[in-house]
Amino acid sequence: KIGETAENLGINAYIIGGFVRDLIIGRKNFDLDVVVEGDATEFAKKIAKLFNAKVHTFDRFKTATVVFPDGNRIDFASARTEVYRSPGALPEVDMAPLKKDLMRRDFTINTLAVKINSKDFGKLIDFFGGLKDIKDRKIRVLHSLSFVEDPTRILRALRFATRYRFELGSHTEKLLKMAVQRKLFKTVEGQRIYHELKQIMLEDNPLRVLNKLEQYKVLSSLFDNLNWNRWEKDLFERLRKVVIWHKLNFPESSINYHLPFFGALFLKEDYEDVNRYLSFLSVPEKEKKEILDMCRLIIPTIKRIEKAKKNSEIYSLLKSKSEEFILLLAAYPESEETREKILKYLKEWKDVKPLVSGKDLINRFKLKPGPIFKEILNKLKYAIIDEKIPEDN
């Protein structure tokens, strides 16, 4: 239907970018981006109407998101027909709006488009040799100033290279090394760097990407005093396993999985350095506090857990902590025994309910409500957690 709508309106519509790349590589990707050579907001509204879907339009950018009744969504953007032309520049050769749009992208592998008009449906458009680069397993920029124009692409290049086990094209590699050497990160807004680092922490294996960042001296260029040694790498590996465990056990969870990885990255650093790094990255206040708390509290908390004689002591320690913090806490110890206890908190103890409720205490046991209630209910809860019958009192 989308193809027919495009055809009826007489405009061209294409699926572009990551979805097409991943389709060819054979990796799951649910982010559908559609570019239309025309007004994307009008187009999206028509599609939404056809499918009884909701549409959010952003008129300033001529983009829109359609959310279908089943929860699926598609982003629509207008191919920029004309942008800025510098004074004195030669008149532009007439170029397809799609091509102009794709020229602004980061790597050739992200420039593939598939036409979805009902005529030509499924036709692959490949202006920049993206298909060959996917086959050759190469990450290549579109032009020599790409990393200068936007240094966050350095992080993206190394993330994609690691994820797909691709190599950097040899010219691209030279350009990337030069860009790092020239310390171009200093010219970028911190929050854009943070956004890309966050994407790295959300990869299946952030450790491998960070090793690549180290290899290309990106880590030391971003964080001048950072240690990236055996200890940090082992912690990242343990954390990766803990996160997999968590996702398996709590598939609906919407916690910020990137935060424990940032915690792990900065844990052994000087507190003042961490503060400086997080300010440089313009990390949102709440996340900044969370990461700093991790750095400050992890060792004392672990020590108390290791000393705890009863499970309920661990429960009391953890119940005020965020789940993100607890994941890092679970990854921290080398001892499996301590880790097991922390994971048991998440899986069992966290949601333990005493077998009687406050209402029971009033109705069945004829007690008067008061502070004693909380004490009784807590005792009952701790008894379950400690797997012991509470004493009579």
User: Rule CB under 6 A: which residues touch ligand ATP?
Assistant: 17-18, 29, 31, 105-106, 110, 150, 152-153, 199
| Residue 146 C-beta: closest distance to ligand ATP, Å | 8
- Residue by residue, DSSP assigns 94-135 as P--HHHHHHHTSSBGGG--EEE-SSTTTT-EE-SS-HHHHHH
| Residue 105 C-beta: closest distance to ligand ATP, Å | 4
> Measured from the CB atom, is 23 or 302 closer to ligand ATP?
23
| Residue 6 C-beta: closest distance to ligand ATP, Å | 21
Q: Which residue is nearest to ligand ATP (CB)?
A: 18
| Residue 157 C-beta: closest distance to ligand ATP, Å | 10
Burial class (CB within 10 angstroms; exposed 0-12, middle 13-18, buried 19+) of 85? exposed
| Residue 203 C-beta: closest distance to ligand ATP, Å | 8
> Measured from the CB atom, is 25 or 383 closer to ligand ATP?
25
| Residue 252 C-beta: closest distance to ligand ATP, Å | 21
Q: How far is CA 28 from CA 20, 123, 193, 376, 387, in A?
A: 11, 21, 25, 51, 44
**Rounded-to-5 percentages of helix, strand, coil across the chain:** 55, 10, 35
| Residue 154 C-beta: closest distance to ligand ATP, Å | 10
Residue pair 40/22 in contact by the 8 Å Cβ criterion: no
| Residue 150 C-beta: closest distance to ligand ATP, Å | 5
Query: Among residues 81, 80, 64, which one has the least CA distance to residue 2?
Result: 64
Residue pair 102/114 in contact by the 8 Å Cβ criterion: no
> Measured from the CB atom, is 132 or 304 closer to ligand ATP?
132
Query: Among residues 205, 222, 202, which one has the least CA distance to residue 162?
Result: 205
Find how far residue 67's CA is from the centre of its chain.
21
> Measured from the CB atom, is 128 or 277 closer to ligand ATP?
128
d(CA 263, CA 288): 10
Rounding to the nearest 10 degrees, give the CA dihedral for residues 302, 306, 309, 311. 50
d(CA 181, CA 37): 39
| Residue 196 C-beta: closest distance to ligand ATP, Å | 8
> Measured from the CB atom, is 106 or 287 closer to ligand ATP?
106
> Measured from the CB atom, is 199 or 211 closer to ligand ATP?
199
Instruction: Please work out, in degrees rounded to the nearest 5, the angle formed at the alpha carbon of residue 100 by the alpha carbons of 97 and 105.
Output: 130
d(CA 243, CA 337): 18
> Measured from the CB atom, is 17 or 169 closer to ligand ATP?
17
> Measured from the CB atom, is 105 or 138 closer to ligand ATP?
105
> Measured from the CB atom, is 27 or 353 closer to ligand ATP?
27
Q: Give 351's DSSP letter.
A: G
